[in-house]
Structure 1
Amino acid sequence: MKLETPRWWYARDRQVMPVTRALLTPLSWIWAAATARRIARAEPADPGVPVICVGNVTMGGAGKTPVVREVARRLAARGRAVHLLSRGYGGRLTGPVRVDPEVHTAADVGDEPLMLARDFPVWVARDRAAGAAAAAAAGAQAVVMDDGHQNPSVRKALSLVVVDGETRGEEWPFGDGRVFPAGPMREPLARGLSRADAAVILLPADLPLAEPDLVRALKAVPVLAAHLQAAVAPPTGPQVGFAGVGKPWKVERALKAAGCELADFAPFPDHFAYDEATLQRLADRAAQFGAGLVTTEKDWVRLPPAWRARVTAWPVRAAFDNEAALDALLARIGL
């Protein structure tokens, strides 16, 4: 059973859940030491083409996938044959396998690869080095890797760290700095930034980058801002929204900000597998309000085919405030 992301992870105040934090802190020391040792001992494989890693230093919900899609779109616009690479979290196939949206399901390859494969060639591989090599052999001139900042198996030409710019004030993207499971960090911030070429602060469409503390926290690397924008308008009329992503509360806020008339919203754990009973409860709830059902693209591809016609997918995209800065990073690695 998947658990929801704890919101207390993102509290700067160490007095929030102090006993839980204290009890979990020794485990976080073990996690951080194991991650550092694995990275230090690795010998990254070179697939022969540039690999751009879009990762993060926190557990989920930062917005990596929209940034992956936008980086790939920029490369494709420059005439590059770009392939995407994912671990395929939640899928049963170990790969390397090229995702076919007409054949594979989210249960086969994971939801994010299935979603992205409608736009780009996507490879799923538990062994990232083997996946990058397979993409290169299939004609990729560049590989964009979704997640993997802490995966040292493949040589990266460019590493971008995505940071949630919506979490601010009392909620902080790095919490009080503690590593999982005592906090949201995959590794200490300074250590993660030491291997990054730039940080991408991803913000909601209606929220400007006006958080000097966050920029200062990332001062070790160049900082790019990007805004999460609706690719299409949300559906009209009352809606019951639902999402099984790292931070489902962000989806609720984004729908409201885009003008969606939300009658209700149901959060689920990340990569949640929707069954018939759950979907029927959502449909019954929508019927009470005379509302439709709306969810994210990532959730929509996990729905059983019979339900896709009954639920509206709401796609979003990451728009960089300074596209020239992103292009300069890509040019630096010959792309």
Structure 2
Amino acid sequence: MKAPGFWSRPPGPLSHLLSPLGALYARGTARRVARAGARVGVPVICVGNLTAGGAGKTPTVIALAERLAARGVAAHVVSRGHGGRLEGPVQVDAARHDAAEVGDEPLLLAAFAPTWVAKDRAAGARAAVAAGAQAVLLDDGFQNPALVKDLSIVVVDAGAGFGNGRVIPAGPLREPVAAGLARADLTLTIGDGAVALPDEPPRLRGHLAPLRTGMDWAGLPVFAFAGIGRPEKFFDTLRTLGVELRGTEALSDHQPLTLALLRRLGERAAKLSAQPVTTEKDAVRLPPALRGRVLTLPVRLKIEDDAPLETALARIGL
């Protein structure tokens, strides 16, 4: 589902009307996160956010996995596997799993670190440790109490911020901002924007940059489609590369790429005489036979000043 438009606008009549339900949602979240979590014997780093939808969690997990791997730490990712049907715990294998089974994000993450899908996060973490994990990267799960988090990083889309500041369904928040940030060790704002945050917890700033692959994008006629939290960010990134963006289609986050949808997208691209292009996360949902026909633009997170992150990692022994 796409986020309702009023979530991103100043509070109006509809958000006011839904605010009592938002208060109930917030109380339910507060009760849930107060439960005691389990420890699994290795540091658990949670990458989460306070809003529904994408904020940049997946690129953040990838960046952490690469950072830990560079210092010889065997980090495994544990994910709920949004959109997948497998309960787990199961280790993701791109050779035998597809997005319908494990979700698109775990398929992408599995290219960077051993990745486990588990509806029960504690069971997934225990399976990862049994398989040799020296650290667990919890993809999402900031509002899930199953595990004790040794380090919690709240990712914020600097452009979208916290929307209208209301809790679901009155707005995009999973919990009130003050309550969420009180449990966080770090915040990470990604992209351009003047989102207001308190001085504590310490703040990191980053941006998503296209990965240099040798591809010459300048002047390429492109039809772009994306099913991520904010597809327009992807389209803007393509523009910065100098493509000739002849058409775009914003899909819902995690939207299944059915044959009918892919046929329609292909017809649009053909009419525009444009090359279809999508994100890495969307690409893993493409049927194998079509992956050679759609270009993928990979992006990576660049953190501008990582001193607070390094301090936090040293505190938990990493």
- The TM-score by the shorter chain falls in which range? over 0.9
The one-character-per-residue Cα deviations of 1:294-325 (angstroms, maximum 9, x if unpaired) are 00010010111121111111111101111333
Aligned-residue offset at 1:195: 0.5
SS in 1 for 2:183: coil
2:292 to 294, 304, 309: 309
Aligned equivalent of 1:170 = none
The one-character-per-residue Cα deviations of 1:179-212 (angstroms, maximum 9, x if unpaired) are 0111011000000001100100111xxx4x7x3x
Amino acid at match of 2:290: W
Unaligned runs of 5+ in 2: none
SS in 1 for 2:169: coil
Q: Does structure 1 residue 183 correspond to structure 2 residue 171? A: yes
Q: Does structure 1 residue 299 correspond to structure 2 residue 279? A: no
SS in 2 for 1:139: coil
Q: Does structure 1 residue 37 correspond to structure 2 residue 31? A: yes
Amino acid at match of 1:93: L
Aligned-residue offset at 1:165: 1.1
Aligned length, in residue pairs? 315
Aligned-residue offset at 1:77: 0.6
Aligned equivalent of 1:55 = 48
SS in 2 for 1:194: helix
Report percent identity of matched pairs. Answer: 52
- TM-score w.r.t. the length of structure 2 is 0.96
Q: Does structure 1 residue 274 correspond to structure 2 residue 257? A: yes
Q: Does structure 1 residue 27 correspond to structure 2 residue 3? A: no
Aligned equivalent of 1:226 = 206
Q: Does structure 1 residue 157 correspond to structure 2 residue 162? A: no
Pick closer, same or farther for the CA change 1:294–1:140 going to 2, 3 Å. same
> Does the aligned pair in 1 maintain the 2:217–2:242 contact within 8 Å?
no
Unaligned runs of 5+ in 1: 168-172
RMSD (Å) for aligned C-alpha atoms: 1.4
> Does the aligned pair in 1 maintain the 2:217–2:241 contact within 8 Å?
no
Aligned-residue offset at 1:258: 2.8
SS in 1 for 2:45: strand
Q: Does structure 1 residue 65 correspond to structure 2 residue 63? A: no
Amino acid at match of 1:192: G
Taking the aligned partners of 1:275 and 1:55, their CA distance within structure 2 comes to: 29
Amino acid at match of 2:295: T
The one-character-per-residue Cα deviations of 1:16-40 (angstroms, maximum 9, x if unpaired) are xx23212322211111111111112
Amino acid at match of 1:82: A
Aligned-residue offset at 1:234: 6.9
SS in 2 for 1:220: coil
Pick closer, same or farther for the CA change 1:89–1:10 going to 2, 3 Å. same
The one-character-per-residue Cα deviations of 1:133-176 (angstroms, maximum 9, x if unpaired) are 11111110001111011011101110000000123xxxxx1123
Aligned equivalent of 2:226 = 243
